[in-house]
């Protein structure tokens, strides 16, 4: 099977900090074998850099958009990035 590895940057806006969003994203990443990282930004967004097979990424992003309880996602920006790095794990950056 030929791997179709892609890397995306996802920015989530709304009530996404202080509601367990990074831990939620980390658990979803494990479900779909996604590597990369999630972090809070200084302008109150959540940034996700995710790498994996295209179909897994699609399902991962669809679930991430829903967010955990108490979150309210008002906008999602997704862009494919050309990242030569190969992430081996999914990490929460602080």
Return the sign of the alpha-carbon dihedral for residues 15, 19, 21, 27.
Answer: negative
Give the tens place of pLDDT for each residue, 11-28: 999 999 999 999 999 999
Q: Which helix (H) or strand (E) holds 22?
A: helix 21-32
Residues 6+ positions from 29 with CB-CB distance below 8 Å = 35, 36, 38, 50, 60, 90
Domains delineated in the chain: 5-93 (3.30.70.100)
Closest CA to 6 of 93, 86, 64: 86
pLDDT of residue 21: 98
pLDDT of residue 2: 57
Annotated catalytic residues are: 22, 40
Which residue ranges of the chain lie beneath pLDDT 50?
Answer: none
Encoding tokens for residue 45? 């967004």
């Amino acid at each position: 099977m030929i791997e179709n590895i892609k890397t995306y940057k996802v920015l989530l806006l709304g009530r996404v900090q202080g509601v367990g969003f990074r831990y939620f994203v980390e658990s979803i990443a494990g479900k779909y074998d996604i590597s990369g990282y999630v972090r809070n930004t200084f302008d109150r967004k959540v940034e996700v850099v995710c790498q994996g097979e295209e179909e897994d990424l699609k399902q991962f992003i669809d679930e991430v958009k829903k967010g955990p309880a108490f979150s309210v996602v008002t906008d999602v920006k997704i862009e494919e990035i050309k990242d030569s790095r190969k992430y081996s794990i999914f990490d929460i950056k602080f």
